[in-house]
A and B are shown apart, each in its own frame.
Chain A
Amino acid sequence: MGLPLLEVKGLKAYYRTRAGEVKAVDGVSFSVEPKEIFGIAGESGCGKSTLGMALLRLVDPPCYVEAGDVLFDGVDLLELDAEGLRTIRWKRFSYIPQSSMNALNPVARIGSQIVDAIAAHEHLSEKEANKRVAPLLKGVGLAAECADMYPHELSGGMKQRAIIAMAMALGPQLILADEPTTALDVNVQRVVLQALAYLREAMGVSVILVTHDMAAQAEIADRLAIMYAGKIVEVGAVDDVFADPLHPYTQGLMSAIPSLAEKRQIKSIPGYPPNLLDPPPGCRFHPRCPVAVGRCREEQPELRSEARGRLVACHLVVE
């Protein structure tokens, strides 16, 4: 089995605002194996984007990483100095931020932007770096001519794939993709998701897929973690989580999604995600939980192993 590629223990990232501390990520632990797609799902405001940025130490004040370990191949990223971080960030662990297709430089050609990304991290001549561009584009399903195009000449899906190519430029072992398919058409979403899956199959890259789109998770994720209000509430193999959701929140999520395959009634989870400045006492989900009991109001459930190889944070599931 060997070491997990990424091991996160008790990560906490808070926003220090005038009104108080917003506990965006409050004690998150999980691990990612090599060659797997690990999905992190949750509604907006659950902290998944902050989690992604915290893993790579990309959080800016007023957000601070308050506690925890992020072990990448055994090395704690949070303890590294700037030089050490540079050797890992982007080279071995890269990142595709939300709406990144809008972050492309509008006055530079795609090829040169990829070369820039490479040159920033490795000492290669421009010619050498250029040679890498075509295979990178091919890996995400783009024609080699795209290297000579400007971002505005590409469609949304093509831009997104160019960003994936950039993230792959230095041959990382792990990529974190934050909402890579929002605002994309169905056909294009499929190509992007398949591109990410291809990275796993053909290149042995692991991907952390952060998205609220459960159907996308179902398509390519191997394991899935469900996040709510800054905490992970359930982790398991994707087949298991979908077929038999254990945590009441996961169950609620599953009943809220329409499926193309069958016509069934869907319902929203009543209520709204909590204010992370002042989260509810005990289990953070209890005000919206259909099966909450007294203990849920008082004690926060820990993420614990359940018999079927699942991790669940619920008093009623794991005794």
Chain B
Amino acid sequence: MSEPALLELKDLVKVYPVGGIFSRKRLRAVDNVSFTMPSDRATIATLAGESGSGKSTIARIVLGLIKPTSGEVRYKGRNLAELSRKGRLAYNKEVGAVFQDPYGTYNPFYKVDRIFSKAIKKFKLASSDADRDKLILHALSNVGLTPEEVLGRYPHQLSGGQRQRIMLARALLIGPSMIVADEPVSMIDASLRAGILNVVRDLRDKHGMSCLFITHDLSVARYLSDSIVILYRGRALERGSTDLVIEKPAHPYSQLLIGSVPLPDPKKRWKERIELDAKDLLEVAGPVAGCVFYERCPQAGEKCLKEMPPSVEVEHDHVVSCHQYS
């Protein structure tokens, strides 16, 4: 395996200072996260977690919008932090982005066509107007839109679903090796998500593009992705093949999370009522010596409070960070 991985995160850390000037409190948004995406085939890797898990922060670090506090992000072997300005410009062409908010990603002043024309111009994708139009038509048809429907319009004249599809079309147009999609369907109606999710699937199956998919919705993760990383408070608690992790979750948090996802089947309702602490996830914690899930874990032991749990491989392509398995 001489070829470097498509994307490799190594011990990634991002710390934010919190509170006033004199506060010493720090928020560890990303706390030693490592994982890889292979380069030999196109895959969809999901970063799953609730709010505060650090998943969006990781996405923005990978895109280069945020600088990590420590740790490495390597794209095809090259360290992101060491890229020159030219290298960074080239990187933006190879790694595309789709954001969560279909309203905020568009500059309300311009028509949506500018999304394409700017990208084409800046990435030098077409040499003539005719070429440009062809590229746009091709990209739109791949996401199920026609030029008549969307070109020449302002963002507020289109629906959220159309806007997200246009973003995907833009990503396709640029032709990256990888797309980072940050919760692309969470602000879209549940019934309209299928189309957009299928486009993301097509990007992998038909266009050979890998995708780093961020979501809090495990049903979506199950539908789309090949591999999954479960994040909690900045730490990766479990990762591996999506099917394995979801069918046989090893970490108590994953078990809780998966058990709490409502199923669209009235016959399969939740059995017990769960209680969340009054302090419900709002703590700003310093670096935690032991397991970050200690306070809420029904199976926590003394070791969990003091020692950071090791990463244990429970089966092939399924790793968990929990003392139970060591």
Asked whether the complex places CB atoms of A and B closer than 8 A, the reply is: yes
A→B interface (CB under 8 Å)? 43-44, 141-143, 145-146, 153-158, 185-191, 193-194, 198, 212-216, 218-221, 238-239, 242-243, 252-261, 263, 266-269, 272
B197 within 8 A of A: yes
Interface centre among B198, B220, B278 (most CB of A within 10 A): B278
Q: Which of A143, A155, A193, A260 contacts B222 (CB 8 A)?
A: A260
Given contacts A153-B282, A266-B223, contact A254 B264 (CB under 8 A): yes
Residue ID in chain A nearest B258 by CB atoms: A260
* Chain A residues in 8 Å Cβ range of B243: 263
Q: How large is the interface on B (under 10, 10 to 19, 20 to 34, 35 or more residues)?
A: 35 or more
Quote the shortest CB–CB distance from B283 to chain A (angstroms): 10
- Contact status A268-B193, CB under 8 Å: yes
Contact status B191-A187, CB under 8 Å: no
In the complex, the answer to whether A155 meets B262 with C-beta atoms within 8 Å is no
Q: Are B218 and A187 in contact (CB under 8 A)?
A: no
Residues of B within 8 A of A (CB): 50-51, 159-162, 189-198, 216-220, 222-223, 243, 246, 256-258, 260-270, 273-276, 278, 280-282
**Judging by beta carbons under 8 Å apart, are B50 and A185 in contact?**
yes
Give CA–CA (A272, B216) in the complex, Å: 26
Between-chain CB contacts (< 8 Å), 16 pairs:
A44-B160, A143-B278, A146-B278, A155-B280, A155-B281, A157-B281, A185-B50, A188-B276, A190-B270, A194-B270, A215-B263, A218-B263, A219-B263, A257-B191, A261-B265, A272-B159
CA distance A216 to B193 in the complex (A): 16
Given A186-B218, A219-B269, A212 contacting B260 (CB threshold 8 A): no
B249 to chain A, nearest CB (A): 11
Note all chain B residues with C-beta closer than 8 A to A143: 278
CB-CB nearest 8 A-B residue pairs:
A143-B278, A268-B195, A185-B50, A215-B262, A258-B223, A268-B194, A266-B194, A258-B219
A43 B262 Cβ-Cβ under 8 A: no
In the bound complex, CA of A190 to CA of B258 (Å): 11
Bound complex: CA of A269 vs CA of B196, how far in Å?
12
Q: Assuming the A-B contacts A189-B262, A239-B266, A242-B265, are A256 and B278 also in contact, with contact meaning beta carbons closer than 8 angstroms in the complex? A: no
Q: How far is the CA of A266 from the CA of B267 in the complex (A)?
A: 20
Q: Are B276 and A218 in contact (CB under 8 A)?
A: no
Chain B residues, CB < 8 A from A190? 260, 262, 270, 274
A193 in contact with B262 (CB, 8 Å) = yes
Q: Which of A44, A194, A268 contacts B274 (CB 8 A)?
A: A194
Contacts of B273 in A (CB 8 A): 194, 198
Contact A219:B246 (CB < 8 A) given known A187-B256, A261-B263: no
* Contact between A257 and B190, CB atoms less than 8 A apart: yes
